[in-house]
């Protein structure tokens, strides 16, 4: 968002933690609707300063990560008013604490309070009371203000300018999507390891009880999620391999992926939690706890529903008849999902093509079959839009069960291939009887 003048001044002290940054976009009254931001910034040409103000309670910055206790500086999103004309939302750097951690004059800060998870992050609120900052603190990669107060931007269309402002947020969404995959892997590694040592019920009297993962229902609940996780693992490569030509596409794609992968993460953690029975509820077994830590992924950096279906709809679309709007939204969401599923498959196929013939390629092929089949089984759009008949759907369902039994012998190797260190797993992933023995009380 900034340019060389910001990079030269801020990068180094940020890396050495002299500057502890936070990101203040959301307000009490406006989260998804960033353009509705009420914080207002005006320019004073006589001093060469911007003046940032919180005009009302709903304009207080809210949920700002790292800000309640520690941050010294913030990137604050605000309406920019120049010579009485509102130029839309812009971002500025503002200092909120001094080097000793004291809150700066013209700044008020409060904690957001205890949350259902992620309490290691101090989310806070900020009020700006006509805070003055230097003109150079405007992050000016898209627009600038000259010393004498002229608004300058090569992008004249406000919609396009706003899109350009938000484009750098792509990396945040990609990071969340990638981190969701890591968390998903931890949940699956724990639940599948447990299901390979936990037994329940004997089929015949005096025979050993059956391993959980030998039950078709247990395979059905975990193995398709495992395949989806494998298939989605390579999506981050779209970002890693981005080019100047592809960056616009990556920006759009990152919204859908953030939504699809974080939903997958939460769904998988819930299933893993239940698949571990009562042990899933113990904090030391991580799975349940990870759910509350990562639930927020569905909301921050853009609520998932907005990211997948509604994001970026111009206001004129939102003004049409509610019934038509409802139908259009559902189609948009279906298309968003279809697009993401297709992208997952394509990136996976690209990786698979690079693997030489052998056992690894066979295992990856099996996972791909499971991924495509489970998407067909779970997404009613295929029936709704006539791509599958009910007979086809019945065949697909049978195929899922068949693939589950084919994947079952590979389950442990597949989760081991995630390479998760033992320290990140849980007692139930190992010898849970020893871990719970009287001697360890």
Ligand X SMILES: Cc1cc2nc3c(=O)[nH]c(=O)nc-3n(C[C@H](O)[C@H](O)[C@H](O)COP(=O)(O)OP(=O)(O)OC[C@H]3O[C@@H](n4cnc5c(N)ncnc54)[C@H](O)[C@@H]3O)c2cc1C
Q: Which residues in this chain contact ligand X in the complex, by CB under 6 A?
A: 23-26, 31-32, 63-65, 115, 118, 123, 296, 299-300, 302-303, 305-306, 310
Q: Which helix (H) or strand (E) holds 104?
A: none
Instruction: State the nearest-atom distance from the C-beta of 24 to ligand X, in Å.
Output: 6
Name every residue whose Cβ is closer than 8 Å to that of residue 379 and which is 6 or more positions away in sequence: 337, 338, 341
Of 188, 268, 180, 190, nearest to 426 by C-alpha is 190
Q: Residue 411 is encoded by which pair of tokens?
A: 């389950």
Instruction: State the nearest-atom distance from the C-beta of 32 to ligand X, in Å.
Output: 3
Nearer to ligand X, 169 or 275 (CB): 169
Angstrom distance (rounded) from CA 388 to CA 382: 5
Instruction: State the nearest-atom distance from the C-beta of 117 to ligand X, in Å.
Output: 8
Nearer to ligand X, 63 or 194 (CB): 63
Angstrom distance (rounded) from CA 187 to CA 171: 24
DSSP H helix total and E strand total for the chain = 14, 13
Using Cβ positions, the residue closest to ligand X within the complex turns out to be: 31
Name every residue whose Cβ is closer than 8 Å to that of residue 383 and which is 6 or more positions away in sequence: 390, 393
Nearer to ligand X, 194 or 300 (CB): 300
Instruction: State the nearest-atom distance from the C-beta of 301 to ligand X, in Å.
Output: 6
Instruction: State the nearest-atom distance from the C-beta of 58 to ligand X, in Å.
Output: 10
Instruction: State the nearest-atom distance from the C-beta of 66 to ligand X, in Å.
Output: 7
Nearer to ligand X, 139 or 222 (CB): 139
Longest pairwise C-alpha distance within the chain: 91
CA dihedral 345, 178, 238, 413 (to 10 degrees): -50
Nearer to ligand X, 23 or 348 (CB): 23
Nearer to ligand X, 229 or 340 (CB): 340
- Report, in angstroms and rounded to the nearest whole number, the Rg of the chain calculated over CA atoms: 26
Instruction: State the nearest-atom distance from the C-beta of 123 to ligand X, in Å.
Output: 5
Nearer to ligand X, 87 or 299 (CB): 299
**Interstrand relation of 49-53 and 61-64 (parallel, antiparallel or unpaired):** unpaired
């Amino acid at each position: 968002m900034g340019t060389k003048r910001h990079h030269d001044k801020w990068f180094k002290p940020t890396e050495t933690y002299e500057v502890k940054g936070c990101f203040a976009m959301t307000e009490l009254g406006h989260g998804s609707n960033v353009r509705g931001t009420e914080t207002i910034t005006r320019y004073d040409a006589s001093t060469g300063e911007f003046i940032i103000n919180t005009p009302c309670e709903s304009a207080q910055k809210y949920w700002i990560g790292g800000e309640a206790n520690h941050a010294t500086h913030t990137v604050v999103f605000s309406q920019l008013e120049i010579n009485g004309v509102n130029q839309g939302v812009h971002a500025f750097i503002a200092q909120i604490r001094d080097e000793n951690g004291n809150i700066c004059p013209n700044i008020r800060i409060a904690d957001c309070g205890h949350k259902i998870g992620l309490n290691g992050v101090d989310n806070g609120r900020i009020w700006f009371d006509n805070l003055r900052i230097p003109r150079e603190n405007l992050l000016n990669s898209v627009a600038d203000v000259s010393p004498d107060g002229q608004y300058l931007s090569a992008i004249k269309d406000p919609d396009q300018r706003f899109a350009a402002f938000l484009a750098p947020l792509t990396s945040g969404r990609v990071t969340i999507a990638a981190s969701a995959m890591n968390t998903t892997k931890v949940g699956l590694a724990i639940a599948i390891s447990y299901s390979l040592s936990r037994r329940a019920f004997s089929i015949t009297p005096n025979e050993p009880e059956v391993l959980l993962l030998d039950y078709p229902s247990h395979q059905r609940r975990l193995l398709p999620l495992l395949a989806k996780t494998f298939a989605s693992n390579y999506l981050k490569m779209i970002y890693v391999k981005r080019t100047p030509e592809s960056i616009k596409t990556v920006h759009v794609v990152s919204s859908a992926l953030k939504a699809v992968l974080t939903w997958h993460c939460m769904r998988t953690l819930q299933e893993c939690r239940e698949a571990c029975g009562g042990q899933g509820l113990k904090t030391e077994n991580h799975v349940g706890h990870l759910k509350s830590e990562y639930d927020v992924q569905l909301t921050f950096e853009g609520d998932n529903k907005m990211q997948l279906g509604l994001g970026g709809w111009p206001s004129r679309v939102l003004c049409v008849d509610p019934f038509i709007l409802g139908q259009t939204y559902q189609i948009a969401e279906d298309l968003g999902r279809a697009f993401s599923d297709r992208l997952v498959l394509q990136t996976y196929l690209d990786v698979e093509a690079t693997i030489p013939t052998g056992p690894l390629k066979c295992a990856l092929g099996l996972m791909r079959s499971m991924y495509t089949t489970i998407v067909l089984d779970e997404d009613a759009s295929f029936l709704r839009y006539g791509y599958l008949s009910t007979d086809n759907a019945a065949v697909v369902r049978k195929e899922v069960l068949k693939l589950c039994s084919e994947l079952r012998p590979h389950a442990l190797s597949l989760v081991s291939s995630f390479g998760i260190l033992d320290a990140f797993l849980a007692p139930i992933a190992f010898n849970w009887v020893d871990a719970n023995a009287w001697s360890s009380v």
